[in-house]
Amino acid sequence: MKNFNRSAAVAVFALLFSGFAFSQAVFNVVSVPGSVPDSLIAINNTSQVVVNGGSGGSSQISVWSRVGGGQSIALSGHNNLATAINSSGEVAGAGLAGDSSTLQAFDWQPSEALQWAGSLGGGLSAATGLNDSGAFVGLSYTASYDQHAFLWTMAGGMQDLTPDLTGVGGATAEAINSANEVVGYYFPNGSLKPQGFIWTQAAGLQDLGAAGTLAFAVNDAGTVVGQAPVANGYRHAFSWTEAGGFQDLGTLGGQESSGLSINRLGWVVGTSLTTSQNGYLHGFLWIPGAGMQDLNVLAKLAAKNQQTYSVQVNDAGVVAISTNVGSYLLTPKMTAKLKASANPVVAGQAVTFTVTMTSLVGAPPDGETVEFAVNGSVIGSATLQAGVAQFTASALPVGRDTVQASYVGDTNYLAVSSTALTEVVNP
């Protein structure tokens, strides 16, 4: 996993949001091919996404990335769904095994056999969350057809996280982090209201929040996000930590919102009703110190009434979003500013060109490549360190030379070039 400077990213983002009217988008928008509108979407830390597509009643699951293209996951039947992907490209979801007519949780790895998880005795199961160790969570029917939350690991198989539950509504485990902390919600015995939970192997199941709370995601720091009731009877997106408790993340102006995903930077994405009288449901991005912002605005999504169905964010700040129009990757837009150590210079004089790169997530990872070109021809390259790359040239042609620096991009960020600089070289 690549390392990112959290404090720098927060400072840059707060600056971008400080009273600004967005004349330009801060995300690039990349269409995800093959997805159907209003379908679940998931993303990993190299911006691979799981695509739920299909036509004519037949479901098709694939893994796609800008760099690697698509790879189909072959499953029998017509009712298959992928819900999560980890950093190894491993995918979890639910599908039909063989001739079965009952959904079963699956785990798929590139170039390896499909792993079916079985159930807690009632046949049906579905995976909803997956971590980088290959452990996944979800829901399963028991032999008495109660819906329970489960954790599946290679060593232990399927473990019932709510063994004493008999209430109507059951339980669902929604997400798991690298420490095998599991979050989700259940309906306590005798209650018609859901109750959020966090589960650990050491402490077991612990309630999270008041009745009506739904926990949907947890990052590796143990911060949980979801939806919780507020005083006016509606529910808002929340962020929770063991040390700080609950924080209401607000809305985009409507009555309700829901936090669906959180990355290692503490960025939360989800959905919220807007101020529109038509009740549009937009995707949002929330980060500490900057508040909640509309992804339709940040990415300049074309349709004003484009509504969000599913949204996730990876640790690089790339957002995967599924709407009623289609699915997209929203990649933080990099900017490259180029300057020269001296201008003009005389023939043979050394000049150092410095490019500084940043975005709402901060700089690209250290060690990535920037190329320097003079009059359209690449004359050398340098690697980024803390968002800065330098190249020194001493044999520039006499005249007015056009110099440009170009970041080559990676799996998360698109390539970008600086504005051209005119370097005057006198005889």
C-alpha–C-alpha distance, residues 296 and 310, integer Å: 14
C-alpha–C-alpha distance, residues 16 and 291, integer Å: 12
Whether the per-residue pLDDT at 2 is higher than 60: the answer is: no
* pLDDT band, residue 386 (cuts 50/70/90): very high
Q: 265, 247 in Cβ contact below 8 A?
A: no
CB atoms within 10 A of CB 290: 17
Q: 148, 162 in Cβ contact below 8 A?
A: yes
* pLDDT band, residue 301 (cuts 50/70/90): confident
Q: Give the burial class of 188: count Cβ atoms within 10 A of its Cβ; 0-12 exposed, 13-18 middle, 19 or more buried.
A: middle
* pLDDT band, residue 6 (cuts 50/70/90): very low
- In this structure, is the dihedral angle defined by the CA atoms of residues 102, 327, 27 and 3, taken in order, positive or negative? positive
Whether the per-residue pLDDT at 19 is higher than 50: the answer is: no
Which uninterrupted H or E stretch holds 7? helix 6-17
- In this structure, is the dihedral angle defined by the CA atoms of residues 117, 118, 119 and 124, taken in order, positive or negative? positive
34-50 mean pLDDT: 95
45-74 mean pLDDT: 87
C-alpha–C-alpha distance, residues 411 and 47, integer Å: 6
Look up residue 368 and give its DSSP letter.
Answer: -
pLDDT at site 412: 98
pLDDT at site 76: 67
* pLDDT band, residue 306 (cuts 50/70/90): confident
297-311 mean pLDDT: 86
Q: 252, 275 in Cβ contact below 8 A?
A: yes
Q: pLDDT (tens digit, 9 = 90+) per residue, 184-198? A: 999 999 999 999 999
Average pLDDT along the chain? 91
* pLDDT band, residue 77 (cuts 50/70/90): low
pLDDT at site 24: 65
Look up residue 119 and give its DSSP letter.
Answer: -
* pLDDT band, residue 396 (cuts 50/70/90): very high
Peptide bond into 344 cis (omega under 30): yes
Domains of the chain are 6-332 (2.120.10.30), 335-426 (2.60.40.10)
Tokens of 292: 């909640």
395-411 mean pLDDT: 97
The single-letter code of the amino acid at 281 is: L
Most confident of 107-111, 300-304, 386-390: 386-390
Most confident of 52-56, 278-282, 297-301: 297-301
Specify the higher pLDDT residue, 54 or 39: 39
Buried b (16+ CB within 10 A) or exposed e, 18-31: eeeeeeeebbbebe
* pLDDT band, residue 149 (cuts 50/70/90): very high
C-alpha–C-alpha distance, residues 138 and 124, integer Å: 11
* pLDDT band, residue 8 (cuts 50/70/90): very low
C-alpha–C-alpha distance, residues 284 and 282, integer Å: 6
Whether the per-residue pLDDT at 201 is higher than 60: the answer is: yes
Query: Which residues fall within 8 angstroms of residue 18, CB to CB, at 6 or more apart?
Result: none
Q: pLDDT (tens digit, 9 = 90+) per residue, 332-377? A: 999 999 999 999 999 999 999 999 999 999 999 999 999 999 999 9
Whether the per-residue pLDDT at 200 is higher than 50: the answer is: yes
Q: Worst-scoring range by mean pLDDT, 23-27, 170-174, 230-234, 312-316? A: 23-27
Q: Are strands 195-200 and 204-211 parallel, antiparallel or unpaired?
A: antiparallel
Q: pLDDT (tens digit, 9 = 90+) per residue, 88-138? A: 999 999 998 777 789 999 999 988 878 999 999 999 999 999 999 999 999
Q: 146, 170 in Cβ contact below 8 A?
A: yes
Whether the per-residue pLDDT at 290 is higher than 70: the answer is: yes
* pLDDT band, residue 397 (cuts 50/70/90): very high
pLDDT at site 97: 79
C-alpha–C-alpha distance, residues 282 and 108, integer Å: 31
